[in-house]
Amino acid sequence: MKRNQTQYLALGGMIAALYVVLTFVANAAGLASGEIQVRISEGLCLLPCLFSAAVPGLTIGCLLANILTGCVPLDVAFGTLATLIGAVGTRMMRKTPFWSWIPPVLSNTIIVPLVLMKAYGVETAWPLLCFQIFAGEMISCCLIGILVYQGVKSIPRIAAD
C-alpha cells in the first residue's frame, strides 16, 4: 500500500474513532439522541474542508456510533445518510470554510426529525423538532466545529488536501 493511501486510511480511521468516542461522551450526558441533541462529535463535521479522508471517517464513525449506542435500524441508516450528505457538502464547500457548516446542519435538520417521528414515534410537531435539531447542530457544527477547524488548521505539520 502506498504511503498516501495508508495516511488516508489512518486519518479516516482516527476521525471515525474520535466520532464514536465523542458520541459516547454526549450519550453519557443524555445529549446524543432524542428530541434535543447536541452531539459533540458533530463538531468534527468541518474537517472535510481540510481532509478528504474525513468524509468516510465521519460516515463510518456515525454508523458505528449509532449502532453501538443502540439506535434502531432506521436511525442507523438515515442518521448515517444525513452525516454522509453533510460531509460531502462540507467537502464541496472547502474553499469557503466559514460557510461549510451549512450542509451538515441542513441535512440533519431535515432528516433527523423525520427519523425521530417515524422510527421512535415522537409526536412533537415537525417544525418544532426541526428547530430543536437545528439549534443542537448549530452548537455542534458552528461553535464546536469552527473551534476544531481552526485548531486543526493551525497545526503546522498537518497537511490538508
| Model pLDDT, residue 2 | 66
User: According to the CATH classification, is domain 3-153 in 1.25.40?
Assistant: no
Give pTM, 2 decimals: 0.93
First to last CA, the chain: 19
Residue 33 has a pLDDT of 85
Domain locations in the chain as residue ranges:
3-153
The answer to whether the CB of 27 falls within 8 A of the CB of 34 is: no
* Average pLDDT, rounded, for the chain: 94
* Angle between the N-to-C axes of helices 73-92 and 54-68, in degrees from 0 to 180, rounded to the nearest 10: 160
For cell 445518510, the residue is 81
Residues 6+ apart with CB under 8 A from 154: none
The stretch 31-56 carries a mean pLDDT of 93
Predicted confidence (pLDDT) per residue in 88-146, tens digit: 999 999 999 989 999 999 999 999 999 999 999 999 999 999 999 999 999 999 999 99
Asked if residue 131 lies in contact with residue 37, where contact means CB atoms within 8 angstroms, the answer is no
